Amino acid sequence: MVHEIGHNIGFGHTNSPNTWYLQKIVGTPDTDSNSVMNGGTALNSWDGFSIYDEKATLWLYDNIAIKYPKEGDELVSGSGDWSTSWTPHYFCQEDYVNIKVYFDQFGSGNEVLRINENVKNDGSWYYPSGKFGGGNNDNDGNFRLRISSIDNPNNFFEVNFNMFVD
């Protein structure tokens, strides 16, 4: 049933990635052996969505947990500073959440963990770019922001976006 609902919301088979009508979804692999969307699995028991099923859903449908920035945003900043906002207590009831910020300056796939801290689950946080260098291009690149439960780090929301300092 879950597999068929996947078709209704716009997903194709993940074990047939070269099908002409499928659109590649940013941040997901060509195939996903754990996906609920693999064809020929109707009689298999279901253990839950794979991480890439979840990413694809968030790409197609708005992430209401993280309000800003949105998936795929391109931010331009005079200083390299930015802030994020989320819906407090949307995915965990804890008073604090963990924020991780990953950065890939050259789009090489070599992410560097820049921030890993616990913050109050009040719905806003400020990214202080000044601590990462003062050069014009020290904060140009691809960012991945993850907000997660401290008690259960597998309970998280994340967005990928680009930033350019003008």
Q: What is the pLDDT of residues 97-136, one digit of tens each?
A: 999 999 887 777 778 888 889 999 999 999 877 666 555 5
- 70, 20: one domain: no
One domain for residues 140 and 96: yes
- On whether both 118 and 148 belong to a single domain, the answer is yes
Mean pLDDT of 12-32: 71
pLDDT of residue 109: 74
Q: Are residues 2 and 51 part of one domain?
A: yes
| 26, 95: one domain | no
Instruction: Indicate whether 72 and 42 sit together in one domain.
Output: no
Q: Of 61, 85, 106, which residue is a domain's last? A: 61
Q: Are residues 80 and 155 in the same domain?
A: yes
- 102 and 141 in a single domain? The answer is yes
Residues 35 and 71 in one domain: no
Is residue 78 domain-shared with residue 154, that is, in the same domain? yes
Number of structural domains the chain divides into = 2
User: Is the Cα torsion angle 61, 62, 64, 66 positive or negative in sign?
Assistant: positive
Q: Which domain holds residue 51?
A: 1-61
pLDDT tens digit sequence for 38-56 = 887 777 787 888 878 877 7
List, for residues 55-95, the tens digit of each pLDDT value. Answer: 777 777 766 788 888 878 888 777 777 889 998 988 788 99
The pTM for the full model equals: 0.62
Beta strand 74-77 pairing with 156-165: parallel
> Could you tell me if 103 and 158 lie in one domain?
yes
Q: Are residues 57 and 5 in the same domain?
A: yes
More confident residue, 158 or 10: 158
